[in-house]
Amino acid sequence: MATLEGACQAARKHPHPHLPEDPDMTASIMRRKTAKSRIAAVGAIAVAGTLLLTACGDQTESASSEGGDATATKAGAPLFSKLPEKYQKSGVIKVGTNAEYAPMESVENGKIVGVDPDIAEALGKQLGVKFEFTSGSFDGLITALNSGRHDIAMSSITDNKQRQEGLDDSGKKLGEGVDFVDYFLAGTAVYTKKGNPQNIKSIEDLCGKTAAVQRGTTYEEALKKQSKACTDGGKKAVKIESFENDTEAQTRVKSGGAVAGVNDYPVAVDLARKADGGNAFEVVGEQIDAGPFGIAVKKDNTALRDALKEAVDAIIADGSYKKVLDKWGAGTGAIDKAAINSGK
């Protein structure tokens, strides 16, 4: 188990056709992970899509799932009193997610499942409330959170200073940031078509080659950073092909149109293990720039933030946290203590 404070150094979308549309979430762009794509819409919807969290404001895809024990109530919930009165009365915490990142969150038989929903279920037992998940575009999660559509966002969101402060990658203020309750540790991984026909061993081998990635993510930024390193070293830039969602990027790699794809490490490992029975992809090289995943909370909702942190520590202590990670094969991302805004 890693300690977050010592390990965090660095710092997802196409609608599922089977997910019902949520009228509150109508999207204009796409996905998951860089500071720009999630925050720009909060205070600068007009800002163009090259920012780390390109604004989209609304969301198209939607599916709901209760990520908490439906029978959980204040009876027997040791941390119920820590919650703001709003949640004590409603018995519900509304969660925005982007359910396209197995094993962290995905849709099976119309239900959102994975590490995050199961962790939320364990948190619900501590807090005496239900966590109700709604899936939408990754880009719109922070916008939806700060506009009050959700109480929290939980979707393998990398905690970093840009998102905390509402900045783009140049340091320009775009809008309101968010706080994070950090509960997991993961980095970036490179994956290739099964057999690794181009003999890619690390992200450094992508100079002059084509790589596929989902637009607006931290791993897209990892590719941009590597491309600059390539040109600074006298080599050709990485040919980055950015897609609306991970499925399109995966298809590009599988077809041979790109020599590699880049994704969150646990997602890439799960993809390599399950896609086409394990015969479609393989992960190459080591995990890159491991950093914390956080539950995003509005800056002014400090009481909820602090209650969630205490609940994460409680499920770590009682063993339910480890059981969830082991169930989904995500034990390498375990931490031993929750943290607030530990991302760099």
Tens of pLDDT, residue by residue over 19-41, are: 333 434 333 333 344 444 433 33
CATH superfamily of 187-290: Periplasmic binding protein-like II (3.40.190.10)
Bridge-based pairing of strands 152-153 and 178-193 is unpaired
Q: Which two tokens stand for residue 229?
A: 């390193």
What pLDDT was estimated at residue 73? 53
10-residue averages of pLDDT along the chain (344 residues): 44 39 36 42 36 37 49 76 97 96 94 98 98 90 93 95 83 87 96 97 98 88 95 98 91 97 94 95 93 97 99 99 97 96 94
CA pair distance 144, 287, nearest whole angstrom: 31
Class of domain 4-185+291-340 as given by CATH: alpha beta
Q: Which two tokens stand for residue 51?
A: 């920012």
Count of CA atoms in the C-beta half-sphere (13 A) of 209: 23
Which long-range contacts does 103-106 make (Cβ < 8 Å, 24+ apart)? 103/266, 103/267, 103/270, 103/328, 103/329, 103/330, 104/155, 104/156, 104/264, 104/266, 104/267, 104/293, 104/328, 104/330, 105/133, 105/135, 105/154, 105/155, 105/156
How far is Cα of residue 100 from the mean position of the Cα atoms in its chain?
10
| Residue 21 CB contacts under 8 Å (≥ 6 apart), including other chains | 15, 60, 61, 62
- Calculate the alpha carbon distances from 105 to 156, 165, 170 in Å: 8, 26, 31
Residues in the chain, how many? 344
Name the phi and psi angles at 313, rounded to 5.
Answer: -60, -35
What pLDDT was estimated at residue 113? 98
What pLDDT was estimated at residue 245? 84
What pLDDT was estimated at residue 250? 95
Name the segment(s) of the chain with CATH classification 3.40.190.10.
4-185+291-340, 187-290
Residue 160 contacts residue 344 (beta carbons within 8 Å): yes
What pLDDT was estimated at residue 42? 37
Which long-range contacts does 194-197 make (Cβ < 8 Å, 24+ apart)? 194/279, 194/280, 194/281, 194/282, 195/282, 196/282, 196/284, 197/256, 197/259
What pLDDT was estimated at residue 216? 76
Q: Which two tokens stand for residue 165?
A: 């402060």
